[in-house]
Amino acid sequence: MFSFLKHNLPKDFFRGACDVHCHLLPGVDDGFPSAEKSLYALKKLEERGVKKMILTPHFMNNYPSNNRESITAEFEAFKAEAEKDCQIELRLGGEYMLEGGFMEHFKEGFLTLDKAGTHVLCETSYMMYEKEYTNMLYEIMCDELQPVIAHPERYVYAGKDVYSRWKDKQYKFQMNLLSLAGVYGEPAREKSHYLLNEGMYDYIGSDMHGLDNFRRFLPKIKLKTKEIDAIARLLENNKKLFD
């Protein structure tokens, strides 16, 4: 009854939550530019009840100096600073663009989302599907790795046929929370609702590059009760991934 009604997310919705996709590691990509801003964001997230975060800086041709060794060093330095005044548990992962340099990162070893070292967060070009994507994902699956497709709702070329094909190949999907608020445009918002209601998502992340969008758009998310319940299940999956 009243299943058609839509609601804001409860104020305590993120209490105990784990974020599996964010660009909070400062100064390494197009995310937070300074440690000061990152530390401030952590305090605000802690106030909302967030308990765990996996930092996932970009590994892509746009940032050629980003490699496993350099990013790990940046993370360890930032984590040491953050632990002085914050109780959020931090782990390091990465977001890997499916492009020419992808296989080089494969050779050096991915920074994965899980402790077992299997779940690799991958993204593609937003506009155009290329056959090479499938080839790269096939290569890593042959190495017993699990592709996690970041924000599939944002890819302009992707429709129901693409999503079904990816699911048939056993790829996992990670939703961007603010897609539901229309931050990435109306098509992405519509597709995020479709994928959520079809049960195609496995995880949910903030993809946070700064606090402004969250302050502005989080209150604009309006969901049916079953959609809020579905997101709660994704947050539980996040915790299992972290632990």
pLDDT at 1: 41
Residue 7 included in any domain: no
Q: Is pLDDT of 173 > 50?
A: yes
| Opening angle at CA 68, ends 97 and 62, nearest 5 | 40
d(CA 75, CA 180): 30
Work out the percent of the chain whose per-residue pLDDT is above 70.
98
Does residue 123 lie in a domain region? yes
Q: Closest Cα partner for 200 from 232, 150, 163, 151? A: 163
| Percent of the chain clearing pLDDT 90 (strictly above) | 91
- Whether 3 maps to a domain, the answer reads no
pLDDT at 242: 96
pLDDT exceeds cutoff 80 at 125: yes
User: Is residue 72 in a domain?
Assistant: yes
Predicted confidence (pLDDT) at residue 214 exceeds the cutoff of 70: yes
Token pair of 229 as six digits? 């319940």
Q: How many distinct structural domains can be found in the chain?
A: 1
Domain CATH code at residue 197: 3.20.20.140
How sure is the predictor about 177, in pLDDT bands with cuts at 50, 70 and 90? very high
Q: Predicted confidence band at 132 (pLDDT cuts at 50, 70, 90)?
A: confident
Distance CA 166, CA 110 (A): 21
Instruction: Check residue 11 and give its pLDDT.
Output: 87
| Phi/psi of residue 46, nearest 5 degrees | -65, -40
Tens digit of each residue's pLDDT (9 = 90 or more) over 85-97? 999 999 999 999 9
155 falls within a domain: yes
- Average pLDDT over the chain, rounded to an integer: 95
Joined together, the tokens standing for residue 96 give 């890997």
Q: Fill in the amino acid letter for 156.
A: V
- Band the pLDDT of 4: cuts 50, 70, 90: low
Is residue 9 one of the residues assigned to a domain? Answer: no
Q: What is the pLDDT of residues 52-87, one digit of tens each?
A: 999 999 999 999 999 999 999 999 999 999 999 999
Q: Is residue 228 part of a domain?
A: yes
What's the average model confidence in pLDDT over 115-141? 91
Per the structure, the complete domain to which residue 175 belongs is given by 14-242
pLDDT of residue 162 exceeding 50, the answer is yes
The verdict on residue 2 lying in a domain is: no
Residue 2 has pLDDT above 70, yes or no: no
Rounded CA-CA distance 123/149 in Å is 6
Global pTM reads 0.96
pLDDT category of residue 110 using cuts at 50, 70 and 90: very high
Residue 166 identity = W
- Whether the per-residue pLDDT at 138 is higher than 70: the answer is yes
Mean pLDDT of 104-130: 94
